[in-house]
Every structure is written in structure tokens, then in C-alpha cells.
């Protein structure tokens, strides 16, 4: 596949290709917590943040969306109802071709309101970014003009944390597309593969690497969303959109009469993966770590029921818990198969995280994935619920005895299809076949964080791996991008106590 994104952008404060020496004072950080929310771009939530590279710096070339033929759209396409070519009556029929506020007139949808999910898939995201102008977001979306919506985020609780500590305004999602792929890139900087994936689940591409259009695909974005011959796998068998875990909880239930801990093999879950992960390198060095997931214990119990209607997995009904199995990347790896000691040691529930914070027994590295209602994902939840939840967790960590030892990174897995004006950096050491994709928010909270700063160092999701690798002296993972920063520019260790 030919690369679609070819823009070259040089950003300040980059990391170097070789592993750097430990930053003075870095040993004061004894616990690293990574909070991974869902599906929001930087401009969508932080485009009005004071001092950040936000909406005011976007050029007309970046804000003006173009049609499939390359000409500027006379207005944004209608906001389409999910799965249809019918306009949503809550939105004006012909919004100006520019970013617009969702929580301001004439729309007035505050961040407490659910807004429909937007397409956020691998090839679509690459084409939306295009040559770096970011001007094909509306044309390539199934939600039309909605992609250009943003909030005045000053009412969000996490804005207060970003103001007090560090907001990174050049932090990009590691891979084009959606949650499944970007969760893999958080833990291994790698892409899963199934060489046996049938042709029916592989994307069909044009010679230039773009998705092939179906014959009934509208000629103009004003007539409806594009109809694309997409798939969950690349033509050469890499899983880029969604593949189900081989172990429960999985989007595939157990086989009737089979082992309830496994997905039904007849329904083609992803084969257990064997690439080296950050978990492998941490364990090899004797560094304690846990992946904490909201509703994990209930999801495990619920998912073992073969064929029955699940009350937790993907549930979106009153009283149910929305657990998304593809948000748990380690559950795809052979090392963590059911019954293994590693699974029992490293997979835990959110309630276990709270208990560890309160007891002062947090592992050295903790990942936390909120359950669906609290992860900010469009479609099945709102922004405010998750923002409050994460802010409450930060407050609990700050009040704990662990605070003097903590570095906390709050970020999002990917942009969720929302537009952002800053092009991802491209070129050797910056990018590869998989990304990086669109810019996303990231907040660094720590007693050693530079207070009240906007950090414009070039980062992506693999920068989290680099930071953990540097702090604990781990061998580097091969997929980590050499020129991306390692987050140490967000810290000031001049007042750090001696280790």
C-alpha cells in the first residue's frame, strides 16, 4: 500500500533515536499510572485552551473541508443519522464550512449529552489527514459535518488539572483509526496479524492505497456518507479495525459445550499473539505492573455464558455495564491465556485499583481503562461523565500517601473521528505504515510536573512506552518511533529528593 500521508512537520523538543541516560531525579518517580480514555481529538476538547496550539492557530486550508473531487464544500455536509443518509434535525442543514461549537448556539448540546458515534477506522483516518491538510474529515466520515464540532472545554474538570500541571499539545495517537489498534500500540507498538483471515474481512484498495468506493457511493459528500469496501484487516492480513480476543471476555461468546474461558474458535477470533509487549519487558526486569479495567470481574463472569444474551459486554441498557473487550489488549496475547499465573497477576478490576491506592500498594506501573459509561466514547456515553470520573481518580491519587512518588499520564486512545488541525509528523523516525494519526489530548500530572505549562514536544502513544522504558531501564520495543519524545520534557526534577 502506498502511503497516503506525506506531509513533513518538524516540531520542537523531540526525543533522540538512541536510549537516553536517565534524567536527573527520574528515580523519584516510583509509580507510573496511565489512564486511557476514549475517542476525542485535541481541538474537539482543548481547542480553546489558553496558550495551546488550538483553533485560533488553524489555517483556512486546514479548516475548510473539501469534497471528493478536491473542491471546497459550499457548506459542511449535513450531520447524518447513524447508518443513514438522513440529516439529524438537531443540527442546521447547512453549517458553514468551518469548526463549530457543539455546546453553543444554535446547537446547544452540552458535554453531558450523548452524541452519535463517528466512523474512526484505519484507512478513513489516513485519508482524512491526507497530505497533512486535515481537510477530508467531513467527506470521509459517516457523520458528515459533525466531525468539525468542538466544545468549550473550560467547564470540564480535567481542564483544571491541565491548567495546574502539563497539557501536551503535540501528542498524537500512535496509529490511524480506532480503539483496537491503538490499544495494541499502547502496550507493544505493534499491529496484530492473522494470515488466515478470509478475503471477506480484508479491505479492498485502489492502486494508491485508498479504500475502493462501491458503485453506489455518493459522488459528493453533500449527498451522503461514502460507501467504502472496507474490512477489519489489511489485504496482507494485519488487524487494523477490529478483531475479537481468543480469550474471554471477548466479542465472541464461548462455543456451546466448549471451554467457557475461550471464544468459539469456529467464529474466527484473532489467534493468540506472541509479539513482545511492554508487559514482557517489565516482568523480565522484575517491575510490578497491572492492567486495571472497569467492570473486569463482572465481565469475566458474564462472558462465560455460551450463546446467551450478555448483560455486560457491549451492553447499553439501564442497569447494565458496558464493557468493551477490544479495550483490553493484553487479553489477546498467549502469555496471558486463561489459567496462566501472568493473567492472575496482571489483570485486575477497577475496585482493585482503588484498594491499592488507598493501601499504598500500587504496582510500579498501572494502566487503567474505564468501563464504557465512563470512558467518554461518543455514541454510548458523554464527555462529562468520564471527565468527572477521571478527575475524581486524580484527586484520590493526589490525596494518597503515594502522591510524592507518582507520575500520571491521562490521554485518549484515538480521536474518534473528530477533526483536528495539526498534521501528524511524517518522515524517517517519525512515522511508518501505521501512523501516527490525529492529535489527541494528553495531561501529565505529578509533583514533579512543570506547573501550568503547555508542552509542545512531539509525542505519540509510543512516548508512554519510551517514558516507562527509560524510567525502569528496560530494553526498547522495536516499534517505538525513535524521534518522538519520551515525556521527560514535561517534568522538572530540580526539587526531586535523592533516590
Where do the domains of the chain lie, and which CATH numbers do they carry?
Answer: 26-67+151-189+243-490 (3.40.720)
CB atoms within 10 A of CB 9: 14
Residues 6+ apart with CB under 8 A from 203: 122, 123, 211, 229, 230, 231, 233, 234, 235, 240
Instruction: Kindly list the distances between the CA atom of residue 496 and the CA atoms of 26, 27, 402, 446, 448, in Å, as whole numbers in the listed order.
Output: 8, 9, 15, 11, 7
Residues 6+ apart with CB under 8 A from 105: none
Whole-model pTM: value is: 0.93
Region at 429 (left for phi over 0; alpha for psi -120 to 50; beta for the rest): left
Strand partners, 193: 238
Q: Which three cell numbers stand for residue 172?
A: 498524537
Q: What is the pLDDT along the chain (499 residues), one digit of tens a residue?
A: 433 333 333 333 333 334 445 566 899 999 999 999 999 999 999 999 999 999 999 999 999 999 999 999 999 999 999 999 999 999 998 999 999 999 999 999 999 999 999 999 999 999 999 999 999 999 999 999 999 999 999 999 999 999 999 999 999 999 999 999 999 999 999 999 999 999 999 999 999 999 999 999 999 999 999 999 999 999 999 999 999 999 999 999 899 888 999 999 999 999 999 999 999 999 999 999 999 999 999 999 888 776 555 666 666 666 678 999 999 999 999 999 999 999 999 999 999 999 999 999 999 999 999 999 999 999 999 999 999 999 999 999 999 999 999 999 999 999 999 999 999 999 999 999 999 999 999 999 999 999 999 999 999 999 999 999 999 999 999 999 999 999 999 999 886 554 4
Q: In Å, how far from its chain's centre is CA 153? A: 19
Candidates 248, 249, 254; CA nearest to 266 is 254
Amino acid at each position: 500500500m502506498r502511503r497516503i500521508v506525506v506531509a513533513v512537520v518538524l516540531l520542537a523538543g523531540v526525543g533522540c533515536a538512541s536510549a537516553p541516560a536517565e534524567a536527573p531525579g527520574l528515580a523519584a518517580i516510583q509509580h507510573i499510572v496511565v489512564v486511557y480514555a476514549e475517542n476525542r481529538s485535541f481541538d474537539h476538547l482543548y481547542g480553546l485552551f489558553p496558550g495551546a496550539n488550538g483553533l485560533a492557530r488553524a489555517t483556512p486550508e486546514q479548516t475548510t473541508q473539501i469534497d471528493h473531487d478536491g473542491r471546497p464544500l459550499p457548506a459542511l455536509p449535513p450531520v447524518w443519522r447513524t447508518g443513514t443518509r438522513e440529516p439529524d434535525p438537531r443540527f442546521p442543514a447547512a453549517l458553514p464550512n468551518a469548526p463549530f461549537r457543539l455546546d453553543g448556539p444554535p446547537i446547544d448540546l452540552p458535554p453531558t449529552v450523548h452524541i452519535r458515534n463517528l466512523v474512526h477506522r484505519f484507512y478513513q483516518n489516513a485519508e482524512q489527514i491526507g497530505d497533512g491538510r486535515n481537510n477530508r474529515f467531513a467527506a470521509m466520515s459517516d457523520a458528515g459535518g459533525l466531525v468539525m464540532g468542538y466544545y468549550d472545554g473550560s467547564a470540564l474538570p480535567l481542564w483544571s488539572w491541565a491548567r495546574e500541571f502539563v497539557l501536551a499539545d503535540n501528542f498524537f495517537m500512535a496509529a490511524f483509526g480506532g480503539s483496537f489498534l491503538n490499544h495494541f500500540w499502547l502496550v507493544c507498538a505493534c499491529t496484530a496479524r492473522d494470515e488466515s483471515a478470509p478475503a471477506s474481512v480484508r479491505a479492498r484498495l485502489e492502486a494508491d492505497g485508498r479504500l475502493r468506493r462501491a458503485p453506489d457511493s455518493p459522488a459528493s459528500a453533500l449527498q451522503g456518507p461514502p460507501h467504502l469496501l472496507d474490512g477489519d484487516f489489511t489485504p496482507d492480513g494485519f488487524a487494523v479495525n477490529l478483531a475479537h480476543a481468543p480469550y474471554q471476555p471477548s466479542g465472541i461468546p464461548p462455543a456451546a459445550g466448549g471451554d467457557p474461558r475461550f471464544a468459539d474458535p469456529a467464529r474466527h477470533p484473532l489467534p493468540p499473539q506472541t509479539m513482545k509487549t511492554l508487559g514482557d519487558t517489565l516482568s523480565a526486569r522484575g517491575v510490578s505492573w497491572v492492567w486495571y479495567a472497569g467492570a473486569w470481574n463482572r465481565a469475566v463472569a458474564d462472558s462465560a455464558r455460551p450463546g446467551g444474551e450478555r448483560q455486560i459486554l457491549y451492553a447499553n441498557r439501564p442497569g447494565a455495564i458496558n464493557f468493551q473487550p477490544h479495550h483490553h489488549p493484553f487479553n489477546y496475547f498467549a502469555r496471558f491465556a486463561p489459567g496462566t499465573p501472568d493473567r492472575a497477576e496482571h489483570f485486575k478490576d477497577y475496585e482493585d485499583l482503588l484498594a491499592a491506592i488507598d493501601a499504598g500498594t500500587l504496582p510500579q506501573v498501572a494502566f487503567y481503562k474505564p468501563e464504557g459509561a465512563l470512558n467518554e466514547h461518543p455514541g454510548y456515553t458523554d464527555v462529562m461523565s468520564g471527565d468527572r470520573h477521571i478527575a475524581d481518580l486524580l484527586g484520590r491519587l493526589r490525596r494518597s500517601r503515594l502522591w510524592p512518588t507518582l507520575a500520571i499520564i491521562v490521554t485518549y486512545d484515538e480521536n474518534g473521528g473528530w477533526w483536528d488541525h495539526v498534521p501528524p509528523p511524517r518522515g524517517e523516525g517519525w512515522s511508518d505504515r501505521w501512523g501516527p494519526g490525529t492529535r489527541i489530548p494528553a495531561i501529565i500530572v505529578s509533583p514533579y510536573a512543570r506547573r501550568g505549562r503547555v508542552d509542545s514536544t512531539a509525542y505519540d502513544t509510543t512516548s508512554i512506552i519510551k517514558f516507562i522504558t527509560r524510567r525502569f531501564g528496560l530494553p526498547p520495543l522495536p516499534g517505538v518511533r525513535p524521534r518522538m519524545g519520551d515525556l521527560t520534557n514535561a517534568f522538572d526534577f530540580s526539587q526531586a529528593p535523592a533516590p
